[in-house]
Amino acid sequence: MEQDNRESWLNRVAAGMAPLFEALDAPLPSRVRVAIGECWDNRRSGDGHFEIFIRPDLAHAPDAMPAQIAAILAHELVHAAVGIAAGHGRAFKRVAVGLGLVGPMRATTPGAPSFAPLHRSSLRSVPSPMPGSTRAARPPGPGSRRRGC
Q: Is the pTM of this model over 0.75?
A: no
Length of the chain as a residue count: 149
Q: What is the CATH number of domain 6-121?
A: 3.30.2010
CB contact set of 130 (below 8 Å; sequence gap of 6+): 5, 6
For the segment 64-90, the average pLDDT, to the nearest whole number, is 87
In order of 57, 88, 116, the CA distances from 85 in angstroms are: 28, 9, 29
Band of pLDDT at residue 136, cut at 50, 70 and 90: very low
What tens digit of pLDDT does each residue of 15-71 get? 888 898 899 998 888 776 654 577 777 888 888 888 877 776 666 666 666 777 788
